[in-house]
């Protein structure tokens, strides 16, 4: 699909913008927040005609299949959970990392490209009533693992 | 993982995703800068950077030859909008010298779900588009000016983007050669 490249460019520019004005290059909060608001609003529209999910696991499955397919053109490769609010979503070829060459030097840059998605997932879950913390872990480019921790209170 | 296959229209969702992401970015900028003009400038700059990259993709995809005059350029820009944003702007209002034209948009995908609050009447919400055109054309040695004449967000019937040819950029001669 042709629009993909547009989004890829926009994403790259957003990453640039968010880090340009910060003294601390590791401050990814803004980037994450932009993802959060996007995810929140997007899911509002995506789930409009979907039947109510019966539990948390089903909600996570929606994120891994439908949500992921629409945005990243593939499903999450692997979903694990400890059945106690911790989920690990593994994507072996994460879209924003596929164009980066693998290597230790590039690995340092990886957090920039996954922060937006962390926010996206958090926002999407938040709109479905799940309050969570989402972090990402990149060990080898382009594979990426997202850890979702549901905050219960 | 077997929920029934996606019922959602991928193409539509894609453009909504782009729209919402762009909206989130503009919102963030408005928070970051006090001055609306600064936001306009930033959006334009982001568009410029995107245009510089998108032209490569465009040329690779369409294998379009070099444009010899502005009318051809206008057609290409129209084609690019069709490819990248799935909208077809109308080209009109040519100046007598054929160096200036307007792109008329019936609908602008970037401004879907958007309403401008009254205190932001100076915000050029879609400034990214003019930046894109400028950046892309600069990569093919055309310097243009690009600005909004009408904007649906500000109550006009159509969104009108004006493009004016300024000059042809010359290839710089490598040092030491005549």
Q: What's the CA gap between A75 and A63, in Å, rounded?
A: 9
Which pTM value belongs to this model?
0.87
Q: Is B97 helix (H, G, I), strand (E, B) or coil?
A: coil
- What percent of chain B has a predicted confidence (pLDDT) above 70? 93
Name the more confident of B130 and A106.
B130
Query: Nearest residue of A to residue B128 by CA position?
Result: A10
Q: What angle do CA B63, B66, B69 make, to 5 degrees?
A: 135
Burial class (CB in 10 A: 0-12, 13-18, 19+), B128: buried
Query: Nearest residue of B to residue A3 by CA position?
Result: B84
Q: What is the pLDDT of residue B2?
A: 41
Provide the token pair at A78. 């692997």
- Which of A8-12, A50-54, B3-7, B25-29 is predicted least confidently? B3-7
CATH number of the domain enclosing A69: 3.30.1380.20
Q: Is the Cβ pair A13, B46 closer than 8 Å? A: yes
Q: What's the CA gap between B167 and A15, in Å, rounded?
A: 33
- Sign of torsion over alpha carbons A91, A97, A103, A105: negative
User: Which residues does residue B143 pair with via DSSP β-bridges, in sequence order?
Assistant: B167
Kindly state whether B60 is in contact with chain A, defined as any CB-CB distance less than 8 angstroms: no
Res. A23 pLDDT band, cuts 50 70 90 = low
Kindly report whether the peptide bond that precedes residue A142 is cis, defined as omega within 30 degrees of 0. yes
Average predicted confidence (pLDDT) for chain A: 86
Burial class (CB in 10 A: 0-12, 13-18, 19+), B63: exposed
pLDDT of B168 strictly over 60? yes
Give the residue numbers spanning the domain of A113: 1-150
Closest CA to A131 of A151, A147, A153: A151
Mean pLDDT, residues A78-104: 88
Q: Is the Cβ pair B1, A65 closer than 8 Å? A: yes
pLDDT of B163 strictly over 90? yes
Query: Nearest residue of A to residue B81 by CA position?
Result: A3
Q: What is the DSSP string of B147-170?
A: EEEE-GGGT-SSEEEEEEEEEEPP
Q: Is B103 helix (H, G, I), strand (E, B) or coil?
A: strand
Q: What's the CA gap between B51 and A5, in Å, rounded?
A: 11
Helices (H) and strands (E) in chain A, counts: 5, 4
Q: What is the pLDDT of residue B68?
A: 85
Res. B80 pLDDT band, cuts 50 70 90 = very high
The total number of structural domains in chain A stands at 1
Count other Cβ atoms within 10 Å, centred on residue B59: 16
Kindly state whether A78 is in contact with chain B, defined as any CB-CB distance less than 8 angstroms: no
Tens of pLDDT, residue by residue over B89-103, are 999 999 999 899 999
């Amino acid at each position: 699909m042709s629009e993909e490249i547009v989004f890829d460019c926009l994403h790259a520019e957003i990453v640039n913008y968010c880090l340009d004005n910060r003294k601390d290059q590791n401050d990814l909060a803004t980037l994450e927040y932009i993802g959060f608001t996007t995810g929140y609003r997007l899911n509002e529209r995506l789930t409009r005609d979907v039947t109510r999910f019966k539990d948390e696991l089903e909600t996570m499955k929606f994120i891994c299949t439908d949500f992921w397919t629409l945005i990243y053109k593939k499903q999450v490769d692997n979903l694990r959970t400890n059945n106690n609010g911790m989920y690990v979503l593994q994507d072996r070829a994460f879209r924003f990392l596929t164009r980066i060459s693998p290597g230790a030097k590039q690995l340092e840059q990886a957090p920039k490209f996954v922060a937006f998605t962390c926010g996206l997932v958090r926002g999407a879950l938040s709109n479905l009533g799940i309050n969570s913390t989402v972090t990402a872990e990149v060990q080898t480019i382009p594979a990426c693992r997202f850890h979702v921790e549901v905050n219960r209170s | 993982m077997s929920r029934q296959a996606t019922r959602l229209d991928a193409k539509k969702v894609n453009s909504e995703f782009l729209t919402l992401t762009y909206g989130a970015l503009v919102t963030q900028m408005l928070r970051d800068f006090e001055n609306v003009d600064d936001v306009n400038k930033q959006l334009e700059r982001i568009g410029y950077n995107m245009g510089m990259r998108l032209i490569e993709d465009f040329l690779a995809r369409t294998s379009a030859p070099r444009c010899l005059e502005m009318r051809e350029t206008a057609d290409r820009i129209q084609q690019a909008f069709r490819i990248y944003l799935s909208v077809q702007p109308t080209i009109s209002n040519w100046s007598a010298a054929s160096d200036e034209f307007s792109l008329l948009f019936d609908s602008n995908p970037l401004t879907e779900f958007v309403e401008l609050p009254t205190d932001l009447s100076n915000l050029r919400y879609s400034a990214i588009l003019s930046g894109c055109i400028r950046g892309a054309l600069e990569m093919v040695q055309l310097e243009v000016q690009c600005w909004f004449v009408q904007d649906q967000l500000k109550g006009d019937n159509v969104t009108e983007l004006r493009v004016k040819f300024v000059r042809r950029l010359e290839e710089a001669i490598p040092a030491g050669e005549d």
